Amino acid sequence: MAVRSITQRWIFNTLSVIVLVIVIIVASSIYGLRNFYYTGVRQSIDSRANVVTGILIRISDDNTIAFNAEFRNLIENSDEKSRMEITAIDRSGRIALSSSGFSYTQQENMSDYEDALKSPNGRGYYVGKNVMGEKIMAVSVTVESSAAEYSAVRYVVSLENVDRVLLFYTLGLSAAGLVIIGLVVLSGSFFIRSIVNPVREVGAAARKFATGDMSARIVKKSDDELGELCDIINYMADEISASEEVKNDFISSVSHELRTPLTAIKGWSETLLSLEGSGEERSNLTKGLRVIDSETERLTGMVEELLDFSRMQNGRLTLVKTNMDILAELGEAVLIYGERARRDGIELAYEEPEMVSPIFGDKSRLRQVFINVIDNALKYSSQGGRVEISVSEEEGFVQIAVADTGCGIAPEDLPKIKTKFYKANQTRRGSGIGLAVADEIIRLHEGELQIESQLGAGTRVTILLPVNRRGETRKTEISTTMEFSMSEEKKEL
Ligand code: ADP
């Protein structure tokens, strides 16, 4: 279908114009040549007629008999006999004498003679067929002398040879025109094919992509815009395949993450049920309930993270920004992880500063960011490690740094870890969306989340948040992300 339409457009836009131009050039050339040849014939007749008229004027002073005899001699013994026929027309309008000796029995079409009689210069012209059907050019010139028996001299030249030459040129020019059109069609069809074939390939590959087969790739055949399109489509397929892979990893790691606490909860509930009425120690009961409690919390946290992520994807993540004390939220997050750090044998160092300027932000979301970052610091550190949290204020920004001495991140992974679903370290639990959510929340606070890391040495995550310059007077604001990492819609309360 596509082939037909591109070809049709090409025929309409290009070929028709070329054909029109060639037809105009050929037709005007033929017309010009015809004019050139016919004018040549006419000029040669005119010059011969001038000579004859000159002679007739010279002899017109002689007496009638002598004039007519001289006239007859001039016509019958013309030295141009072979090239043109000269005839004399008598006063009744009939051909009375002929240089060829041919006696005209049939009346000729002599519109040139009639025109000559009417014309002030005494000349008339005719181009057309004679009684024999031969193409001729005829010129009639009236005889001025009153002594003459004849009223006009008529010069007739056959145009058959001229027309033969013109026909030869016409055929030659038309053939040249057809050859040019043929070449244009040939090169045009090559050109169209060079566009249509790759486009077809692109279409076939796109159709495969649509059915979920991302293995198809297009072979680049040229280095032009179409080649570039092939490259882009191949690149797009690579990216989609890669993100498919990341998504599959995400699903499997999330499923795994959900299964672990569920297994623990199920195991302990069964144990507790079997303890019922058996009079077993109360300590086991407490232990079991604690595991159930912490694993449920872990599940809730994960589900919350997933929900936030899906809200962000749908542009429905809502922030309630107020004038807030960032140290209170950070202190709470540190408190949550104090017990776990102790259990894991990791030193959690936090020296709370006296005071920092208030921030205009969403308390719970920012606490969530701190929890995410501290959780990562502990998660990717081993026993004996150290996590140091520090806060400072500089140039209108509060800077919160969480530095650990954990496994670190490889330089090639560092630029990607803020991307959704990306996990640089597959050995630890996690969904790969914590940093993506944290980065988005900080971005919505006009802040910045920076990560520096050295593989094997540790990681430092720095959160920069602008201080509230407008002070206490600022009203609470509710903002909703309209599109993930794209824009923010604000509503003042
Ligand atoms: P996850 O839930 O997998 O931890 P995140 O989005 O929080 O997902 O982090 C993305 C990836 O960044 C992690 O899989 C991990 O490889 C890397 N990462 C984040 N924080 C740290 C850290 N403190 N030390 C080492 N690697 C880290």
* Mean pLDDT to the nearest integer, 112-119: 91
Beta-bridge partners for 349: 388
Residue 189 predicted with pLDDT over 80: yes
Residue whose tokens read 């969530």: 368
Q: What pLDDT score was predicted for residue 491?
A: 35
Higher pLDDT, 7 or 64: 7
Ligand 1 nearest atom to the CA of residue 431, by list position: 2
425 CA distance to ligand 1 centroid (A)? 7
Ligand 1 nearest atom to the CA of residue 372, by list position: 7
Tell me the backbone φ, ψ of residue 317, rounded to 5 degrees.
Answer: -75, 120
Per-residue model confidence as pLDDT tens digits over 348-368: 999 888 888 999 999 988 998
Residue 79, Cβ neighbours under 10 Å: how many? 8
Q: What pLDDT score was predicted for residue 182?
A: 93
**Residue 222 banded pLDDT, cuts 50, 70, 90:** confident
Tell me the backbone φ, ψ of residue 144, rounded to 5 degrees.
Answer: -75, -35
**DSSP assigned state of 467:** B
Of 380, 413, 421, 460, the one to substitute when testing ligand 1's pocket (max ligand atoms within 8 A of C-beta) is: 380
171 CA distance to ligand 1 centroid (A)? 83
433 CA distance to ligand 1 centroid (A)? 9
Per-residue model confidence as pLDDT tens digits over 148-176: 778 899 999 999 999 999 999 999 999 99
Q: What pLDDT score was predicted for residue 481?
A: 62
Find which of 64-78, 96-110, 176-190 is predicted with most confidence, using mean pLDDT: 176-190
Residue 490 predicted with pLDDT over 50: no
**Residue 19 banded pLDDT, cuts 50, 70, 90:** very high
Q: What pLDDT score was predicted for residue 488?
A: 36
Query: Cα 296 to chain center, whole Å?
Result: 53
Ligand 1 nearest atom to the CA of residue 381, by list position: 24
Nearest-CA residue for ligand 1 atom 19 is 376
* 3-state DSSP assignment of residue 373: helix
High-pLDDT (> 70) share of the chain, %:
92
Q: What pLDDT score was predicted for residue 354?
A: 84
The average confidence (pLDDT) of the chain is: 85
Question: Pocket residues for ligand 1 (CB within 6 Å)?
Answer: 376-377, 380, 404, 406-409, 417, 422-425, 430-436, 459
**Residue 393 banded pLDDT, cuts 50, 70, 90:** very high
419 CA distance to ligand 1 centroid (A)? 11
Nearest-CA residue for ligand 1 atom 12 is 417
Q: What pLDDT score was predicted for residue 124?
A: 93
Are 348 and 391 contacting, i.e. CB atoms less than 8 angstroms apart?
no
**DSSP assigned state of 395:** T
Of 253, 404, 423, 452, the one to substitute when testing ligand 1's pocket (max ligand atoms within 8 A of C-beta) is: 423
- Extract the tokens encoding 365: 């979301």
Ligand 1 nearest atom to the CA of residue 437, by list position: 6
Tell me how far apart the alpha carbons of residues 283 and 300 are, in angstroms, rounded to a whole number: 26
C-alpha dihedral (66, 71, 74, 77), degrees to nearest 10 = -90
- The maximal CA–CA distance of the chain, rounded, in angstroms, is 171
- Helical packing angle, 225-275 and 160-210, nearest 10°: 10
Per-residue model confidence as pLDDT tens digits over 423-462: 777 777 777 788 988 998 999 899 999 999 999 999 999 9
